Chain A
Amino acid sequence: MRLITSFLILPAILMTSSLTLAHEGAEGVIQERMDLMSNFSKSVKTLSAMMKGNTAYDANIVRNEAGKIAASSGKHITGLFPENSLSVESEATLAIWKDWPAFERYAMDLEITAKGLVQAADNTGSSEAGGVNSLLGLTAAPGTPAAATMPLTVEALASMPAQEVFGKMTQNCSGCHKKFRMEKD
């Protein structure tokens, strides 16, 4: 097993190190996007504490944090991923550039859902789900194929409960991480 792993890992290391050499100037961009992601996580931490009920719900804070995410998503994200910009510290995978349109979609949907959350911040209350069809993904349950085919709009999101919009936003994070991030720990 160990032998198999080293066979798998060695080319990966060689590949990433040669990529780093090939993109000497990329360190700035990589650092920048790592900072961007950690800023997102700070906002999500604040928001999730509220959604969980650990801290009191405050629509102003929701607007503020969601606004920060919206302002640095979309083209801000894609602009920080020039082709094949990888390094040892980076958790990004080559799949990003193999399937750029999908990556771009996630970046844009983050902007849309974050903007939607800004507008939905006053909509307290929760959504209900259930029934065989929604359990089976035959209706648009979040994160299912039926939901994926429905285009998101800020207007549609604005009328949904904030709780649900937050869920859509973080599911977008999750979908992107699933496809394009190496899980290092």
Chain B
Amino acid sequence: MRSAWGVFALFIATGAAFLIWMFMPIQASQPAITLTGDPARGAYLARMSGCIACHTNEEKASGILAGGAALESPFGVFAAPNITLSPEHGLGRWSIDDFATAVRQGISPQGRPYYPAFPYQFYSGFSDQDIADLWSVLPRVPVVDAPDPATDIRFPFSIRAGLKPWQRLFGAPVAASPVSGQSADYNRGRFIVEGPAHCAACHTPRNMAGALKTQSWFAGTTLLPGGENAPAIDARSLSANGWTVADLAYALQTGITPQGDVLGGSMAEVILGGTQFLTEEDRRAMAIYLLAEP
């Protein structure tokens, strides 16, 4: 009898621990940001990070950062929301600290976790200055008072409660910090590739839960939204396919491959909306890092 009570108590305790784990706020509190942002630096970082590419629907020409095109995934249809300073539909009522928590931790001002379609895992290394720079860009962007583009997230993924455990289990920041003993170019490239440019978001396969398979970093995937393929971009595969630093840097600028093909698919969006705006040095640094054998 006593052991039955023990089992029951253990059951209750486990349940309670699980509920706490599930519903406890996950955001880490951060000191308030008081820095002044540089809009030019912020706009550059926004290009590098894919903010503009993903939150802008180029085809509909609905406005810069006013909401992106639909992204069809095995979990349903996602679309990046309106992040202009519209008070009703955008970030008009946010503080810079709300913005910092959203970008670096993937949590809304209401404390709700975002879906990993928003690649905050790659932005966690942004400094307070980076956040202030990005924030200072928004007042320069015309406000669009239009609701977010429609999403259609499939059951059971539509239950947001599942996202907290997801963040705890799989939402760890992606490492992009410098490696000692490596060149400045390598480390700059590493910061861009593993951080803001979030190459792994598409070029690393994901498990059933949508989490990145860290063992297969940059191994490529055939399961991109919309049924696209993302080729392997680990150093060995790139070298085996004949890519050089100069070729890669040039492809990130123009989309042109060494064979004279012009890349399409979502890589075209990455290049047209992102990497074409980077400096030669940054594109070269990305190529140097990608082609460096681990």
Contacts and interface: CB of A to CB of B under 8 A. Distances in A.
Interface string B250-294: 100011101111111111110111001100000000000000000
A159 B207 CA distance: 52
Nearest to B254: A170
Given A136-B52, A177-B268, A185-B231, A45 B259 contact: yes
B107 interface: no
Overall SS of chain A's interface = helix
Interface residues of B, number: 46
Contacts of B47: 135
A181 B141 contact: no
A75 B211 CA distance: 46
B260 A44 contact: yes
Nearest to B206: A1
A138 B64 contact: yes
Contact of A1 (B137, B223, B272): B223
Interface string A22-49: 0000000000000000001111111010
Nearest to A177: B264
Interface stretch (A81-89, A114-122, A141-149): A141-149
B214 to A, nearest CB: 17
B101 interface: no
A127 interface: no
B74 A135 contact: no
Contacts of A44: 256, 260-262
Given A45-B259, A170-B255, A183 B228 contact: yes
Nearest to B72: A8
Interface in A1-17: 1, 4-5, 8-9, 12
A142 B263 CA distance: 16
A40 B271 CA distance: 20
A145 B40 CA distance: 20
Contacts of B243: none
Contact of B254 (A42, A167, A184, A185): A167
Interface residues of A, number: 47
A138 B139 CA distance: 13
Contacts of B266: 178
Nearest to B255: A174
Contact of A183 (B39, B137, B256, B267): B267
Contacts of A137: 52, 56, 64
B58 interface: yes
20 contacts: A5-B222, A40-B260, A43-B260, A45-B259, A48-B254, A132-B137, A135-B44, A137-B52, A138-B141, A138-B142, A143-B272, A148-B58, A170-B255, A174-B264, A175-B272, A176-B264, A177-B262, A177-B265, A178-B264, A178-B265
Given A170-B262, A174-B255, 5 more contacts: A12-B227, A44-B260, A45-B258, A135-B46, A144-B273
Interface of B: 39-40, 43-44, 46-47, 52, 56, 58, 61, 64, 74, 137, 140-142, 207-208, 222-223, 227-229, 231, 246, 250, 254-256, 258-269, 271-273, 276-277
Interface of A: 1, 4-5, 8-9, 12, 40-46, 48, 52, 54, 129, 131-133, 135-138, 141-145, 148-149, 167, 170-171, 173-185
